[in-house]
Amino acid sequence: MSIENCTADKIAALVAENAELRRELADAERRVLFSQSQGQPLGEYLASPYSDPDPAVRAQRYYYAVAGVAELYRRDPHVYHFSPIVHSHPIVQYLPALRDLPWVEMDLPVLRCCRGLTILKIDGWDRSGGITREIAEAEKCGIPVNELTL
């Protein structure tokens, strides 16, 4: 079957059924992002819990995420490491209306371009719906999942 004759739904179904194709697509996405990042490989995507009704808990989780990213840079300073929490928490402080955006949906394409997913094992990581989605996406794309304890 020629890809030109496939609908988007058919292509999505083919990808969903074929783990090798998912890995190849994830590799292609990483190569594209790599070429757009002036030759700098993407490093780890740091997943950490964030959501909580208490702003003090969210702030504490942000600082843990900063420490987690710093540790990733200590281990490998020559690549770009990404933390959605480190990126978005300061933005939400200035634009509170953005707090309820579906951040994980915006972050998953970045995850697909990283060489690994690192789970920051702080309080709440095992109950986080976002981390659950990120792990599932990493496994679907053949991206290694690691853990980090501070």
Give the mean pLDDT of the chain.
82
**d(C-alpha 111, C-alpha 141), whole Å:** 9
Sketch out the chain's domains with CATH numbers: 3-148 (3.40.50.10400)
Q: For position 103, what pLDDT does the model report?
A: 77
Confidence check: pLDDT of 15 > 50: yes
Asked if pLDDT for residue 19 goes beyond 70, the answer is no
Q: Residue 68: is its pLDDT beyond 60? A: yes
Q: Which pLDDT belongs to residue 116?
A: 94
**Dihedral, CA of residue 145, residue 146, residue 148 and residue 149, to nearest 10:** 100
Buried/exposed code over 17-34 (b: 16+ C-beta within 10 A; e: otherwise): eeeeebeeebeebbeebe
pLDDT higher at 31 or 77 = 77
In the predicted structure, residue 76 carries a pLDDT above the cut 50? yes
pLDDT surpassing 50 at residue 3: no
- Overall average pLDDT of the 22-31 stretch: 62
Look at residue 23 in the predicted model and tell me its pLDDT. 64
pLDDT at residue 5, rounded to an integer: 57
Per DSSP bridges, beta strands 80-82 and 145-148 are: unpaired
Q: Which residue did the predictor score with more confidence, 25 or 3?
A: 25
- Of residues 83 and 20, the one with the higher pLDDT is 83
Residue 109: how many CB atoms within 10 A of its CB? 11
Q: How many CA atoms lie within 13 A of 105 on its CB side?
A: 3
**Any residues with CB less than 8 A from the CB of 23 and at least 6 apart, and which?**
141, 142
- 30, 115 contact by CB (below 8 A): yes
